[in-house]
Amino acid sequence: MNDNPRQLLRRIRILLGIMIAGLVVSGVTAFPLLHEIDVLHGWLGKASVPASVTAWIGKVHEGLHATHRAYPFLAYGTDWLAFGHLVIAIFFIGPFMDPVRNFWVVRAGQIACVLVIPLALIGGAIREIPLWWRLIDSAFGVVGLVPLCLAARLIRRLESSR
C-alpha cells in the first residue's frame, strides 16, 4: 500500500467528500417532502412496482397532504431534520481539512451510522413503518459507515506516516 501522505490525504478527502455530499443531499431533499411525494406518487402510478410499495407511498402521500392541510406547522419538524443533516455535513469539514486532528468527528459519524439501524428497526416498528422501508432506512447507516470506516483506516495510516 502507498503510504505517501499526499496520496493518503487525497483518498481520505474523497471518502469524506462522499459523506459530506450524501449528508447535503439528504438534508436538501428533506425540505420539499410534499412536492417529492407528489412526484413519487405520480410516477408509481405509471411504474411496475410491488403493490405493497404503491400502497405505502399512497398512504404516505395521503398522510402528508392531510397533515399539511390541517397542521402545516408540523413540516417545521422535517425542516429541522434537513437542517440537522446540513449541520452534520459542516462538522465533516474539520476532518476534511485536518483528518488526524479531527478524527473524533469520523468516529462520532461511525457511531451515528451504527445507531441508525436500531432507530430504524425499533422506532420504525413503533411508528408502523413497513419492514422493507425500515431496512432501506437502515441501509443508509450501512452505506454511510463504509466511507467512514475506510477513511478512519487511512487516517490512522496518515497519522503513523507523519
Sign of CA dihedral 145, 146, 148, 152: positive
pTM score: 0.90
Give the tens place of pLDDT for each residue, 69-80.
999 999 999 999
Percent of the chain with pLDDT over 90: 91
pLDDT beyond 80 at 162: no
C-alpha angle with apex 21: 114 to 157, nearest 5 degrees? 65
Give the tens place of pLDDT for each residue, 86-120.
999 999 999 999 999 999 999 999 999 999 999 99
DSSP assignments along the chain, one per residue: ----HHHHHHHHHHHHHHHHHHHHHHHHTTTTHHHHHHHHHHHHTTS---HHHHHHHHHHHHHHHHHHHH-GGGHHHHHHHHHHHHHHHHHTHHHHH-TTTTHHHHHHHHHHHHHHHHIIIIIHHHTT--HHHHHHHHHHHHHHHHHHHHHHHHHHHHHHH-
pLDDT reported for residue 1: 55
Every domain of the chain and the residues it spans: 5-161
